Amino acid sequence: MQKISIYAIHKEKADDYTVLEKHYSKLISRFASFSDISVYSKKIDSAQKQEASHAQDAYTNALSSYLNGYNIILDPLGRSVDSHQFSQILDRSEPINFFIGGAFGFSESFKKKAHLKLNLGQLTMNHRLAKIVLIEQIYRGFTILNNHPYHK
């Protein structure tokens, strides 16, 4: 069974986004082992109150240990794909890890460690909403790969 993980820089809290995250996570579990991991620490909080490079370094330090398998980072300058192209990205045997940065994005050194930089469109959205869009697209991608009617 395919293994998919999302690592996102944000505080873990129950809110309106949580309902959708859990809903789509459950749907994905039909097709893959799915983990949704929030990463946040006092170091990240402190670094975000300084300059962007400090925050980016804190994100890199917090996420580097999760760089295994096929690594995809969300980046506004990344590749744009449609849902069918996205489904092909999911069609691999190795674990897939998605990374969502904090408010200051990722450092260039972290970006270089990714196999793919992906954007979710030209619109700016908050990180929690971007995660919902990503989770829904993961589910949609698996329905495309499995010829399930959801994607039509």
Question: Tens digit of pLDDT for each residue in 50-103?
Answer: 999 999 999 999 999 999 999 999 999 999 999 999 999 999 999 999 999 998
Contact 66/134 with Cβ under 8 angstroms? no
Number of C-beta neighbours around residue 139 at 10 A? 24
Judging by DSSP bridges, how do beta strands 32-39 and 116-118 pair with one another? unpaired
Number of C-beta neighbours around residue 98 at 10 A? 23
pTM of structure: 0.94
